[in-house]
Amino acid sequence: MTASAQSREMVQIAAQAADATGGDDIVALDVSEPLPLVDAFLIVTGHGERNVAAIADRIEEKLLEAGHKRLRREGRDQARWVLLDFGDLVAHVFHEEDRMFYGLERLWKDCPVIPVELPATTSAD
């Protein structure tokens, strides 16, 4: 079993929202095989609590605008690890230190990566 087309679309929306808000090290994993109720995880790093909260808020806003229903949100008050559960997609927005500590990529290392397309950034030289 693999992540559905809808789940992949949700990943793309969430990844672009995270990128636009300063999210780094954006990784999407297809967790549909080991988790029967979830298709994908999106893992994002924010730099500081304010950035983590802003990234999570933007992901939530864009997914709601696209017509997806949020089932649960946790961790917004502390903004160290914000979990957004949209059913088929669960977005994890981490503070840098917490992402390294919890190591979700290590826990789910056998799951395939879902490619995400992000706008190209240009450097000002």
Residue 117 within a domain: no
pTM, two decimals, is: 0.91
Is residue 120 included in any domain, yes or no?
A: no
Residue 45 placed within a domain: yes
pLDDT digit string, tens, across residues 37-77: 899 999 999 999 999 999 999 999 999 999 999 999 999 99
Cα gap 108→25, rounded to integer Å: 16
**Which CATH number characterizes residue 80's domain?**
3.30.460.10
Burial string for 69-96 (b: 16+ CB within 10 Å, else e) reads eeeeeebeeebbbbbbebbbbbbbbbbb
Q: Is residue 113 part of a domain?
A: no
Q: Is residue 114 part of a domain?
A: no
| pLDDT number for residue 121 | 60
Tell me which residue range forms the domain holding 70.
Answer: 5-107
Structure confidence by residue, pLDDT tens digits, 79-108: 999 999 999 999 999 999 999 999 998 999
**How many domains are there within the chain?**
1
112 assigned to some structural domain: no
Quote the DSSP letter at residue 113.
Answer: B
Residue 78 lies in a domain: yes
Beta-carbon contacts of residue 89 (< 8 Å; ≥ 6 apart):
7, 10, 11, 14, 38, 39, 40, 41, 42, 63, 68
